[in-house]
Structure 1
Amino acid sequence: MRKTKFVIVFIAIVMLATLVQISVRKSEVEDLNIKGFSSPQEFRDYVIGNYPEVTISERVQTLLSSNLPEQFSSPKLEIGGGSEIERFSTTNVQVPGVDEPDIVKTDGEKLYISRKAYPIAKILPPLHFKTIVLKIFPPNEIEKLAEINVSGDLLLYSDVLILLTSDHLKGFDTKSFGEIYSIELNGSLVTARMYKGKIYVITSQYFETCPIIPLKVDGKDFVVECGRIYHPIKPIPVETIYTVAKINAKTGEVEKIISFVGNHNSVVYMSENAVYVTYYSRMPYSEVFIKFVTENGDLFPSWFVERLNKIATYDISEQAKHIEIWDSIRKLMLTMKPEERVVFENELYNRLNNFMEKKAREIERTKIWKISSEMEIVANGEIPGRLLNQFSMDEYKDFLRIAVSVGNSNDIYILDSNLKTVGSLKGFGEMERIFGVRFIGERGYVVTFRQIDPFFIIDLSDPKKPEIVGELKIPGYSSYLHPIGEKLVLGIGMENSSVKISLFDVSNPKKPEELSKFVLKEHWSEVINNHRAFLIDEKHKVFFLPASRGYVFSYEPELKLIKATETGFRAIFINDYLYIIGKKLVVFDENTWEKVAEVDISLL
């Protein structure tokens, strides 16, 4: 009975297919096998007819409960009072110059702090969080300047503070703190980037017809016509409509916008040259299972094979094919005696496992769209596997390097400017999956994990022939990798349910070493899944790590904890002062590590 249930659940899992898709505005994009919708009716037919299967688990339960037998860094700023701000920190981002939203921003004079609200239920009145603005330099003159009755992620451009909530984007003047513009997002904020004064905002929402209204600018609807909503010519599962808007950070003007169908598994990476949007897609269940049956015909009666091959020719939706296949499976099970069923289930389980692994690179795919800064599709491509996060992609000298997990192993792919594969490294870290990635220059650093932490160094100097040149196996894993100069890489992750910090010497890529390790008595750090919470000050050779407390470590010659505060979720530096932000704002002189100021933010 347990084996039978497992087989059915296993098959059901294969049926889950996901996807995200993007496109642009011109008819010429049909050369890329995408096009805009021609009418509201075509939109409805496509979106509703290709909605992903969401009742598979219900069908599994129905099958099991039926009457069948038991079965299966920084600008320089002059300020008053004779003081000079020589340097100040910025948000830790993936690509220098491409800013990312965070809950803390500074311009060297002011500190902007916003605590986001995460609503759990709508029964109680929602909590209202605010954004506070502090004058923080010099540290002995800290004072509250203003309070903005909105909270969310922050971007800072010139004299405009941008606040991004789940459903709004607002701009505020940093001198008067008055609202400059307001954009309502008729959906959910996915992510945003800012480059050269332009904000790239991605939102998602489910619509049943077109045209759509993804934004309202100063109360006025911003309409996207049917022809400006793009989809693959070949139908794919659709869960949501994504909209990418290019917005002037200074004025709030929506300069360009595109919309496209997709699902909820998109990964976005932005370089100085382009925005890359990916979506993960599995081969439809019907296609996978029919291929399996065709290649394993000896396991099934001829009528069953013929039946599935016939289903493959039906011009019906994927959901309808699911139903037909499930009906055939039920009929097959009814023909078996209990002892025959046991043999069949075991053979099916093993063969299906082997088939899925053998065909993993055909079944699991990631589609990639390359969008120029003018928001036009310039290339598209496809590779096997699934990305971990934005650090799984990196653009370098017109090549896009991508790390993926696929089946029970991992791959690296190198794509040219047209997103055509020119080189690959397949099958490393077998029986493990990627937990951390960082591409730096002509090297890639990849951490895979199951029981130990293989730290791989990959030579990417020849795009046509990436190769592993070094490997280090240590306990635990590192999720966030941060380069320190050219010889060191800092890894932050977990070991035995505790936060672990590793300092790797990569000066000899063939023989990487773990120079130092520090295990904190903490069960989590935000840095593990949010790099923006991390701060490093290479001048003083220290870094900040938030957990239940705020921690400051030095890393030369080894990892050493030098300061800890009662709370701390972010840190910044101005000149030689380190500001740790928590319930209190605590300031340390980085030359002496003496506390020079402490202010209870909640009392301001």
Structure 2
Amino acid sequence: MTQSKILETLGVAVIIFIMLFSAGCANPQGPVIQNGTGPTGGTGSNVSGTHGYGFVQATGQADVEKAFLQSSMSGYNYGGVSAGGIRTTAEGTGAVQGPTGAPAPTVPGASDSSKSTSDYSLTNVQVAGIDELDIVKTDSATGQRIYALDGNVVNFVDAQPADAMKRYATADTQWSNGIYEYRDVVVAISYNKVEAFYKDDGSEAWHANLNASYVDSRMANGIIYLVLSEYPQMPYQPRPMEVCGGKCMPVSIDYSRIYIPTGISSQVFYDVISLDAKTGDVLDSQAFTGPYSTTLYMSPDNIYVAMLQTNSQDTAMFNYLLDGGKGLVPTAVYNKLTYLNGLDISEQAKTVEFSIIIQNWATGLQPEESANFFNELQSGFKAYVKKNPEQLEYTGIAKLGYSEHGILTMKANGKVPGHLLNQFAMDEYDGNLRAAVTYGTWDDSENGVIVLGSDMAEKGRVVGLGAGERIYAVRFLGDEGYVVTYRQTDPLFVMDLSDPANPRVAGELKVPGFSTYLHPLGNGVLFGIGQDAQNVKVSLFDISNPAKPKELDTYIVNEYWSEALYNHHAFLYYSAKDLVILPIGGKDYVFSVAGNSISLKKIINEQNAQRNLYIGEDLYVMTGDEIVAYSFGDYQELKRVKLEGGYGPVYYGDVIPPIPAVTPTASGGSSAGSAGSAPSSTR
């Protein structure tokens, strides 16, 4: 065989291997229904990180341009930077600072519904006191009003007394993601605008135009923390937003306030902005670059922005030969690879040169040598990525501190192998961040919990949970964690995290089906909602003995869908009455969880039930276009109020749209009423 044929054979073999391996490396993502103290000023400063991953503070536009250009030429980006498309900001102007001496705003705040001591429910959130954007809110100060977002309209409803409930105002918005409420305003957030309206009459209080895209947010003590993203392309974006109240105020972020991650791609800008919910005043801002995919978690002390990084197979192969494949190639070839790795060029350029070096060497191989090399390369690479899963996929996590006045500080950076399921996969406790991850290839996946210290350096890990499975649900409670994995059965792993350096599996329970959301009910009982085959399943787990978790009871609902499967805001627990209320299949299911058992008390046949609230003895069901009040005593309807806005009702499961009333026509046919009239129905 000629040398060119040998090279062709080797090249095709390696390409086929990479293609086959890539097919098995599809991200095992869960269902998507979709971060030591560092410096706060100066230039060219570093922020602590682990495993070669940290932040460097930009000194000017050139630093930022270089980061994006290198990423655009690497295997990270699918798009890239267009024509030097880096946004411009006014260098040297500094970030907008808030009144450092002003007292922090206070608010009762949203809390986990399982811990509410009031007689009205608030949004079910991950962390007590940190509110999350949702489509409906109860007035946190009085519990007498409900604010409901229906598409592009905020509806203001007097909810008490329930039998006299009425809508007293509306406010038109852009199509919004959700709302917050604080003191005398309701704040609606869309993908590029924030609007605040007075609770008394729905008139506008202030608005902010976002020259960036909304990613996620939280609210604590009356301060909204926005995470925005901007693509670095033409036309230049000189500022992320413009706030308009009594006057319009542009907000710019200086280049010296931009942090560039090391060891992770720069694909977009992320702007973190603290905003006074009452006035719209911008209190502070920070910016950093990173990949597209993000998950937000906020503790009482810090904001964590997790960014998923997926590496190319070429980059992983290059790293394998550098780290673990030295014996596969001659020393001279290995030295060339080492020299190449030290060059300050893009990852794409490195992988191209890597291929040339290997191909030039391979032209001198005999057929048997080529076959042996490919065999060793294949087996060695598989073992390498199994031991080093971050070579294929890892998650970088940026940690920002925030003060009671909304002042933001970039603190540290870290990374964990694999990817996170959702916000519940992160939790801060005693200064440590716990992260539950899935990593590896689709057919050889594993799961684990990684513990990062306050400086985001790894302190400990427990891995090997549910080999060949992936995470479906996570909940951290104090020094314990609960992880559900699934492929055939549903293992519920109970994690002992009391020693951050030595986390361990304390107990395990295997049951049919799987849970996608876990909610603590107190007294050592955990509620789970998930699926068993094609049906919705709800469960009670006894976790009082971590070594021996038990399934206390289950209830299978003959429906395949519930929004609460993947949106915890759709979950309502009324602890005083031992009731869990869930929208399932478009209807409302009211379960009693008293006595460590599950029993169905009532099915409320509302079309497209989406959320549930309680105020005292009254239950409020929000559907696609109405709020309906019921009595907890007999579940009789008290009053219904039509909501303005929206696209109209959406139907799930076996809920059938109302059939038009049919009347005879003169021609002997039938008619459903005049053209354009709404179908009638009987409730």
TM-score bracket relative to the smaller structure: 0.7 to 0.9
Q: Deviations along 1:359-391, whole A, 9 cap, x unmatched? A: 225664433333221211234334434322211
Aligned 8 A contact 1:75 1:86 in 2: no
Q: Is the 8 A contact 2:527 2:541 kept in 1?
A: yes
- Check if 1:244 corresponds to 2:260: no
Distance in 1 between the 2:277 and 2:38 partners? 23
Counterpart of 2:639 in structure 1: which amino acid? A
Contact 1:46-1:235 at 8 Å conserved across structures: no
- The CA deviation at 1:115 is 3.1
Q: Which residue of 1 aligns with 2:616?
A: 575
Q: How does 1:178-197 map to 2 (within 5 A)?
A: 178-197=203-222
Question: How do 1:500-539 and structure 2 match up within 5 A?
Answer: 500-539=537-576
Query: Structure 1's 174 and 9: CA in aligned 2 closer, same or farther, altered over 3 A?
Result: same
Q: Does 1:563 align with 2:603?
A: yes
Separation of aligned partners in 2, 1:35 and 1:230:
6
Written as runs of structure 1 = structure 2, the 5 A alignment for 1:383-394 is 383-394=416-427
| TM-score where L is the length of structure 1 | 0.84
Task: Tell me, yes or no, if the aligned pair for 2:620 and 2:628 is still in contact at 8 Å.
Answer: yes
- State the shift of 1:248 in Å: 0.6
Whether 1:253 and 2:290 are equivalent positions in the alignment is no
Tell whether the 8 Å contact from 1:170 to 1:183 is kept in structure 2 after alignment: yes
Give the letter for the 2:509 counterpart.
L
Partner of 1:264: 292
Give the match for residue 175 of structure 1: 200
Q: Distance in 2 between matches of 1:309 and 1:13?
A: 29
Please give the per-residue CA displacement for 1:524-550, whole angstroms capped at 9, x wherever unaligned. Answer: 322222211211111111122224313
Q: 1:275 aligns with which of 303, 328, 341?
A: 303
Deviates more, 1:8-17 or 1:570-579: 8-17
Paired residues of 1:381 and 1:419 also in contact (CA < 8 A): yes
Most deviating of 533-542 and 403-412: 403-412
Relative to 1, partners in 2 of residues 1:319 and 1:11: Cα closer, same or farther, differing over 3 Å?
farther
Query: Quick one: which of 635, 646, 657 aligns to 1:593?
Result: 635
Which string of whole-angstrom CA distances, capped at 9 and with x for unpartnered residues, describes residues 220-245 of structure 1?
4322122121213x464111000000
The residue aligned with 1:217 is 243
Residues 288-321 of structure 1: CA deviation (Å, up to 9, x unaligned): 3123235345656888756644543443211212
Match of 1:142 among 165, 170, 178: 165
Change (3 A) 1:221 1:164: same
Contact 1:154–1:163 at 8 Å: present in 2 too?
yes
Worse overlay, 465-474 or 379-388: 379-388
Match of 1:105, as an amino acid?
Answer: K
- Stretches of structure 2 that go unaligned for 5 or more consecutive residues are 1-8, 28-34, 49-53, 80-106, 110-116, 647-683
Which residue of 2 is the match for residue 111 of structure 1?
146
In 1, Cα distance between equivalents of 2:299 and 2:180: 17
The verdict on how the C-alpha distance between 1:349 and 1:519 changes in structure 2, with shifts beyond 3 A counting, is farther
Structure-1 residue corresponding to 2:516: 479
State percent identity of aligned pairs.
32
Q: Displacement of 1:202 after TM fit? A: 0.4
- Whole-Å Cα distance in 1 between the matches of residues 534 and 65 of structure 2? 48
What amino acid sits opposite 2:603 in the alignment? K
| Residue of structure 1 equivalent to 2:437 | 404
1:360 has 2:389 as partner: yes
Match of 1:30?
46
Where do 1:38-49 residues align within 5 Å? Answer: 38-49=59-70
1:161 aligns with 2:201: no
> Secondary structure, in 3 states, of the residue corresponding to 2:349?
helix
Write the letter of the residue equivalent to 1:254. Answer: V
1:246 is displaced (CA, Å) by 0.5
| Residue 243 (structure 2) pairs with residue 204 (structure 1) | no
Per the TM alignment, residue 177 of structure 1 is displaced from its structure 2 partner at its CA by 1.2
Q: Is the 8 A contact 1:444 1:459 kept in 2?
A: yes
Aligned twin of 2:398: 369
1:462-496 Cα deviation digits (max 9, x unpaired): 33332222110112211111000132111112222
Superposed CA deviations along residues 96-144 of structure 1, whole A, max 9, x for unmatched, are 100000011121222222134xxxxxxxxxxxx3222222211111222
Find the aligned partners of 2:545 and 2:438 in 1 and give their Cα distance.
Answer: 26
Structure 2 counterpart SS, 1:183: strand
In 2, the alpha carbon distance for the partners of 1:55 and 1:192 equals: 26
Distance 1:299 1:423 in 2: 33
Q: Is the 8 A contact 1:589 1:596 kept in 2?
A: yes
User: Do residues 100 (structure 1) and 132 (structure 2) align?
Assistant: yes
How far off is 1:88 after superposition? Answer: 1.1
CA change 1:442–1:8 in 2 (3 A) is: closer
Structure 1 distance, partners of 2:313, 2:42, is 31
What residue in structure 1 maps to residue 473 of structure 2?
436
Distance 1:352 1:419, change over 3 A: closer
Deviation at 1:284, TM superposition (A): 6.7
In the alignment, the residues of structure 1 paired with residue 39 and residue 164 of structure 2 have an alpha-carbon distance, to the nearest angstrom, of 51
1:230 equivalent in alignment to 2:245: no
Q: 2:153 aligns with which of 130, 136, 159?
A: 130
Q: Which amino acid aligns with 1:222?
A: V
1:243–1:110 distance in 2 versus 1, CA, 3 Å = same
Taking structure 1 as reference, are residues 326 and 529 closer, same or farther at Cα in structure 2, changes over 3 Å only? farther
Q: Is the 8 A contact 1:23 1:34 kept in 2?
A: no
CA separation of 1:590 and 1:287: change in aligned 2, threshold 3 A:
same
C-alpha distance in 2 between matches for 1:190 and 1:601: 27
Q: Against the structure 1 CA distance between its residues 255 and 16, is the aligned structure 2 distance closer, same or farther, given a 3 Å change threshold?
A: farther
Q: Partners in 2 of 1:315 and 1:13 — Cα distance?
A: 31
Secondary structure of the residue that 2:634 maps to in structure 1? Answer: coil
Residues 352 and 601 (structure 1), Cα distance of their counterparts in 2 relative to 1, 3 Å cut: same
How far the C-alpha of 1:420 sits from its partner, in A, is 3.6
Of the three residues 387, 411, 433, the one matched with 1:378 is 411
Evaluate the alpha carbon distance shift between residue 398 and residue 476 of structure 1 in structure 2; reply closer, same or farther with a 3 A threshold.
Answer: same
Q: Which moved more, 1:223-232 or 1:240-249?
A: 223-232
Paired position in structure 2 for 1:50: 71
Give distance in 2, aligned partners of 1:24 and 1:418.
13
Give yes or no for the alignment of 1:8 onto 2:15: no
1: distance between equivalents of 2:542 and 2:387?
36
Contact 1:161/1:173 (<8 A) preserved: yes
Note the residue ranges of structure 1 that are not aligned, 5 or more in a row. 59-73, 77-84, 117-128
Is 1:88 aligned to residue 123 of structure 2?
A: no
Specify whether residues 56 and 423 from structure 1 end up closer, same or farther in structure 2 by C-alpha distance, changes over 3 A only. closer
Letter in 2 for 1:34: F
Deviates more, 1:422-431 or 1:527-536: 422-431
Task: Check conservation: 1:23, 1:369, Cα contact below 8 A.
Answer: no
User: 3-state SS of the aligned residue for 1:376?
Assistant: strand
Contact 1:479 1:493 in 2 (8 A): yes
| Greater relative contact order, per chain length (Cα 8 Å cut-off, separation 6+) | 2
Conservation of the 8 A alpha-carbon contact between 1:47 and 1:208: no
For 1:132 and 1:403, the matched residues in 2 are separated by: 38
Deviates more, 1:253-262 or 1:462-471: 462-471
What's the TM-score once normalised by structure 2's chain length? Answer: 0.75
Q: Which amino acid aligns with 1:166?
A: Y
- Do the aligned partners of 2:76 and 2:265 also contact (CA within 8 Å) in 1? no
Point out the more displaced range, 105-114 or 90-99: 105-114
Number of residue pairs matched?
565
**Secondary structure in 1 aligned to 2:64?**
helix
Q: For residues 102 and 37 of structure 1, do their structure 2 counterparts lie closer, same or farther at Cα, with a shift above 3 Å needed?
A: same
